[in-house]
Structures are given as structure tokens and as C-alpha cells.
């Protein structure tokens, strides 16, 4: 169990000599002419104490209190919760967490059944979902039938054909894909949602099955029994996926056995009610009313009381069939849902009524009826494009991205400590090899063996593994970001001449820190916080100038938005707040 700040300060005070002049121990504020040390401060310290405080050496600071990694909110942009006036939630994969791999296995079976109905052989019924194979963010080469893992520049990190691992040079000698060719309707299709996991797995399984039984060419199955291009297979699979969503098969199978497919949410009611003490709370989901009603009732029924007799009473506003990301653009007509029948009522809506449910609508209508301004709204969802990018760019809403895979990622980091240590050793060796060499050196050192050991960096945004992680923070908590140091600044902090900036691993994870520092883990304090704040503003403004425009981003994302679930995704963070919010905190 983590020690409280007061306990750590008491330990420090006991460890100091009692003979120090002016030391007050735990007695309270110190007012004297001498410089104060950490153990002399009140908790929280006064302004007068801070003016007299003398910074402790980095190595003398006690461990900083941190929540358990899986319970934290990881932050990209700072946000003060007390500044939020409206809090919105997506439903599927956010408020409602589906059990994995049971839910993906269900989708897999339904897709297989549909393919058989479309004429595919009965033998494909022998296939089953393998949760260890697919991950979000993979890209499919629809022409050659290969699944690719790309970095943000289009460099191919890994490739498979069916279940067979490819060497990059086999099909892609340049080891690079032009990202302009990635997107809906283009050669390379991006899988960026949790709903895509069964589709990824089944596509690979079908290729492996067909190629094991029949002759194939570079472009598809070419046998006397069957002629099927990899692109045609992709189109058929997409049609089958669309069918199970839009026909209602997946929704019906899910609601028929909620305990099998839906995780209970014992802390959801507490989270919603705590937010309602400080802000207006709304539900904004792409799911239709009938499905939303069943799911939300299942999740919140254990918390019903006389004051909160149904799930609708936990929200100030509930909007279904929102059709995000269209909602953040031109939207659709806003209609009221008759909660008893599910029928729509078309009439002029001048205000959102308590206990009512609404269908469709748009960002402009929502803001007009609620008085919400962009920076006042925190929206929590799981889809990078539909929930985060569009709401941020079109409305200025602050956003928190829920990434289910984060818990597995953190466990992987914990279990890879020895690998990070080995990587740090290799990078130190590489730096030593280049020590003292400049442009006059003509004989390059042999670093082939060391380079072969160094693996590619993994990139991650900042986010939370579950929507209820935020319940671990007070409603006035201020999330803050760790200032990113430029390479020359990291070199200065580390000391010495290090042209390669190799003194730290390219990816380091501090298990006691709320921040995942992707570009180098250098936990250092700048003596001038004003300088850091200015640097943060400059970097963020520069970053915002490089954003893709909405149309280009939309073309790169798979926009299959099943009626039983809103668009979603991973990988990702609390993309919360104003980029220029200097006083906001982002440690979580």
C-alpha cells in the first residue's frame, strides 16, 4: 500500500538531526530566515514556505505517491476536473464493457454463419476465434491479402499472410507504405476498432484454410475448385460483418445472454452520481434505443433507488442513434423517443426534459439546448475517430479515450523489465563505440550485432483502461502533463557529449509513474517552471498545426458503425483539455 505524503514527510523529519536550527518537525508552518527543507513544510505548503524552500536533490526526494497503474488516468493535455460543466459518455466499449474473448468469439461465429449462407463451404465452420492473434491498428493489403503492422510514418514493422509470418522484403522491398493509400475504399484498409478483432482473425484464418487445400497465386485462390481474389474475400467478409450488425443478429444474441457477454459495472452508478454533483451528465451513443435500454438497465439496475428508479435518472440528457461522427458535423433531426414503445415523436424540442431519451441530433443542437461550450465538456469514449478526433476538432470538447488493452500492455511492460535493462545496456554500448568519433573518422565501427538486438519503439497515447478509473480521483483533481524535453535538453540533463542521445532506452516505463514517457524516460525537474510552460505551449501549438484535416483522417479510418455499438478504438488516452492550459495537471 502506498504511503501517504504526510507519512513520507514524517519519515524524512525523523531521519534528520534534531539539532537543526529552526526545525519544527510536524508542528506546522515554519517562519524563519533560513532556507526550508522538504520535511519542514506543511501539507499543503504555504506560499511563504514555498518562497523559503530550498529544492532537495533529486536522489533525496521520497517516492512520489501514485495510484496503481491499471487504475490511473494517463494524460496528454492537462485538465482540471472542476472546470468541467458537462460530462458525456459513449456506451459500447465505454460504459458497457464486453467480456473478452467471449464477445469476439460470438461475432466470429455469426460472421462464419453468414459466409456459409453466402455460399462459402461448410468446412469454415471448423474455424474458431483466436484472441492472441488480432490487435487494433492493423492494416490489410486487400490486393495481396497481407496484414501489416505500420508505424506512424508508414514503415512496415511486421507482416503476415494468413497465419504465416512474412519477412518484409518478400512483398514490400521498400519496407514502406504510402499512408495516402490507407483508408476506406483504398488498397490498404485500416482496422481501428474493437469490433474489427473477429474480422481480422477470420480473414487470416480463411486464407490459411483455403491455401492449405487449394492452389493460390499472388492475388488470390486460383484452383479448379475455386477462383477467389483476396480483394473479393475482403469484400465478402465486410458484407457479412455488416449483416450481423444491421440485421440485429449480434444485438439479439448479446441480449439473450447478458451475463455471458457483458461485464457488470458495480462502480458505474457511483461514478455518474459523483459527476452529477459537479456537472451535467449525458449519454451519447450510436446504439439504438431498444438495445441501449436493455444494456443500461442491466448495468445500473443493482443501483436503483427511490431517487434513481431507472437508468435514465442517472443522466441529465440521453441521446441514442447519434450517428457519430456525423453528429459532430451536420447531424440529423433531433427526435424524442417514446420510452414505453421505442417509437419516435417528431415535434419541436426546445429543452431536454428529465427522464426523456432523444434520437439523433447534432452538435449545434446539443450546444444550443444545453448551453455547453467546447472547453466545458469532457466526453469519454473508445473510438479514436468517432469519439475523440471529431469531438475535439469540431467542438473543442475535451476527451478521454478508454483503451481496454491498456491493462494487458501494462502487464507486458512489467514482465519485460529485463528486456528494458538489456536495451539500456545495448544503447550504452553503442554510445561508447561512437565516443570521440567525428567527421574525420573514416573506418566505421562494426555495430551490426548490437543493432540486431535493438527493437523498434512501441508508441502509446495516454488514456485509461476503464471508464471507472476516474472514480479514483477527486472531482477537483487537476491532471497535468510531464513536459517533454527536446533531445539537446535531455543531453544537457544527463551531462556529457552524447550525439546519439542513447543514454536512455527509447521506450522506458516507470512502474511508479502515472506517465508513460515514449520518447525517453528522463524524470528531471527544470528550475524554471515558467520556461517549461512556455515550451509546452509552443510544442502543442506546433503539434496542432500538423493535424490531418478531417476528410483525410476520415478516409483512413474504417467507419463501420454498427447499430449495436458506437464506433470505437484503442490504443489510446485522456486527450483532455486545452493545449494552453498551463495550470492544469496531468499526472494521474
Residue 128 CB neighbour total at 10 angstroms: 12
Residue 26 CB neighbour total at 10 angstroms: 13
Element (DSSP H or E) covering residue 379:
strand 377-381
CA trace torsion 55, 57, 58, 64 (10° rounding):
-60
**What is the SS3 assignment for 225-262?**
CCEEEHHHHHHHHHHHHHHHHHCCHHHHHHHHCHHHHE
Q: How far is 114 from 94, CA to CA, in rounded Å? A: 28
What are the backbone dihedrals phi and psi of residue 222, each rounded to the nearest 5 degrees, phi first?
-135, 85
Residue 304 CB neighbour total at 10 angstroms: 15
Which residue among the candidates 20, 21, 92, 192 is catalytic per the annotation? 92
Which residue among the candidates 21, 55, 60, 90 is catalytic per the annotation? 90
Of all residues in the chain, what percent are helix, strand and coil, respectively (each to 5)? 40, 15, 50
Q: How far is 503 from 510, CA to CA, in rounded Å? A: 16
3-state secondary structure of 157: strand
Please choose, from the candidates 259, 312, 321, 255, the residue with its C-alpha nearest in 3D space to the C-alpha of residue 282: 312
Return the exposure string of 227-263: e unless at least 16 CB atoms fall within 10 Å of the residue's CB, then b: ebbbbebbebbbebbebbbeebbbbebbbeeeeebbe
CB within 8 Å of 505: residues ≥ 6 apart: 420, 423, 424, 427, 520, 521
In the annotation, is 551 catalytic?
no
CB within 8 Å of 349: residues ≥ 6 apart: 334, 335, 336, 358, 369
Confirm if 543 and 233 have CB atoms less than 8 A apart: no
Cis amide prior to 44 (ω within 30 degrees)? yes
What is the pairing mode between strands 317-320 and 357-359?
parallel
Q: How far is 503 from 336, CA to CA, in rounded Å? A: 60
DSSP 33-102: SSPB-GGGS-SSPPHHHHHHB-PPPGGGSPPPP---GGG---BSS-EEGGG--EEEE-TBTTTBPBPTTH
In the annotation, is 92 catalytic?
yes
What are the backbone dihedrals phi and psi of residue 240, each rounded to the nearest 5 degrees, phi first?
-65, -40
CB within 8 Å of 222: residues ≥ 6 apart: 215, 216
Q: How far is 270 from 578, CA to CA, in rounded Å? A: 27
Residue 573 CB neighbour total at 10 angstroms: 25
What amino acid positions are annotated as catalytic residues? 90, 92
Amino acid at each position: 500500500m502506498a504511503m501517504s505524503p504526510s507519512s513520507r514527510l514524517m519519515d524524512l523529519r525523523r531521519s534528520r538531526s534534531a539539532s537543526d536550527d529552526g526545525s519544527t518537525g510536524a508542528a506546522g508552518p515554519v517562519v524563519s530566515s533560513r532556507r526550508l527543507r522538504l520535511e519542514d513544510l506543511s501539507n499543503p505548503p504555504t506560499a511563504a514556505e514555498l518562497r523559503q524552500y530550498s529544492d532537495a536533490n533529486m536522489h533525496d526526494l521520497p517516492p512520489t505517491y501514485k495510484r496503481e497503474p491499471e487504475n490511473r488516468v494517463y494524460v496528454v493535455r492537462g485538465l482540471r476536473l472542476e472546470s468541467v460543466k458537462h460530462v458525456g459518455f459513449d456506451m459500447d466499449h465505454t460504459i458497457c464493457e464486453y467480456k473478452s474473448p467471449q464477445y469476439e468469439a460470438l461475432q466470429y461465429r455469426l460472421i462464419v454463419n453468414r459466409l456459409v449462407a453466402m455460399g462459402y463451404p461448410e468446412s469454415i465452420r471448423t474455424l474458431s476465434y483466436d484472441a492472441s492473434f488480432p490487435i487494433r491498428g492493423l492494416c490489410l493489403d486487400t490486393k495481396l491479402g497481407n496484414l501489416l503492422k505500420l508505424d506512424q510514418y508508414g514503415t512496415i514493422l511486421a507482416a503476415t499472410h494468413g497465419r504465416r509470418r512474412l519477412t518484409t522484403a518478400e512483398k514490400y522491398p521498400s519496407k514502406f507504405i504510402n499512408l495516402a493509400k490507407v483508408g476506406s475504399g483504398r488498397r490498404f484498409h485500416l482496422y481501428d476498432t474493437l469490433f474489427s478483432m473477429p474480422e481480422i482473425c477470420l480473414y487470416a484464418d480463411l486464407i490459411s484454410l483455403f491455401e492449405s487445400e487449394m492452389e493460390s497465386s499472388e492475388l488470390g485462390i486460383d484452383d479448379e475448385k475455386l477462383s477467389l481474389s483476396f480483394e473479393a474475400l475482403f469484400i465478402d467478409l465486410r458484407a457479412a460483418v455488416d449483416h450481423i450488425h444491421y440485421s440485429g443478429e449480434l444485438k439479439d444474441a448479446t441480449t439473450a445472454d447478458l451475463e455471458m457477454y457483458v461485464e457488470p459495472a458495480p462502480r458505474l452508478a457511483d461514478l455518474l452520481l459523483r459527476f452529477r454533483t459537479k456537472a451535467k451528465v449525458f449519454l451519447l451513443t450510436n446504439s439504438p434505443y431498444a438495445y441501449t435500454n436493455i444494456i443500461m438497465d442491466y448495468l445500473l439496475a443493482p443501483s436503483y433507488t427511490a431517487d434513481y428508479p431507472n437508468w435514465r435518472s442517472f443522466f441529465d440528457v440521453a441521446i441514442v442513434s447519434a450517428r457519430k461522427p456525423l453528429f459532430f458535423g451536420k447531424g440529423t433531426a433531433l427526435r424524442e423517443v417514446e420510452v414505453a414503445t421505442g417509437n419516435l415523436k417528431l415535434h419541436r424540442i426546445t429543452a431536454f426534459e428529465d427522464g426523456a431519451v432523444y434520437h439523433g441530433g447534432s452538435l449545434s443542437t446539443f450546444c444550443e439546448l444545453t448551453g455547453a461550450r467546447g472547453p466545458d465538456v469532457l466526453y469519454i469514449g473508445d473510438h479514436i475517430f468517432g469519439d475523440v478526433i471529431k469531438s475535439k476538432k469540431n467542438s473543442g470538447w475535451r476527451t478521454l479515450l478508454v483503451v481496454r488493452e491498456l491493462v494487458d500492455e501494462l502487464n507486458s511492460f512489467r514482465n519485460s523489465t529485463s528486456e528494458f535493462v538489456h536495451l539500456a545496456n545495448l544503447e550504452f554500448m553503442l554510445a561508447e563505440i561512437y565516443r570521440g568519433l567525428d567527421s574525420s573518422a573514416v573506418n566505421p565501427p562494426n555495430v551490426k550485432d548490437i543493432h540486431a538486438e535493438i527493437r523498434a519503439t512501441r508508441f502509446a497515447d495516454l488514456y485509461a483502461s476503464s471508464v471507472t478509473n476516474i472514480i479514483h480521483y477527486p472531482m477537483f483533481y487537476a491532471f497535468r502533463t510531464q513536459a517533454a524535453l527536446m533531445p539537446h535538453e535531455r543531453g544537457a540533463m544527463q551531462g556529457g557529449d552524447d550525439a546519439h542521445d542513447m543514454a536512455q532506452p527509447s521506450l522506458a516505463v516507470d512502474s511508479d509513474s502515472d506517465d508513460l514517457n515514449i520518447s525517453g524516460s528522463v524524470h528531471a525537474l527544470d528550475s524554471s517552471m515558467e520556461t517549461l510552460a512556455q515550451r509546452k505551449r509552443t510544442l502543442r501549438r506546433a503539434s496542432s498545426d500538423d493535424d490531418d484535416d478531417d476528410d483525410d483522417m476520415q478516409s483512413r479510418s474504417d467507419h463501420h458503425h454498427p447499430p449495436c455499438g458506437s464506433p470505437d478504438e484503442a490504443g489510446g488516452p485522456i486527450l483532455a483539455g486545452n493545449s494552453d492550459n498551463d495550470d492544469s495537471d496531468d499526472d494521474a
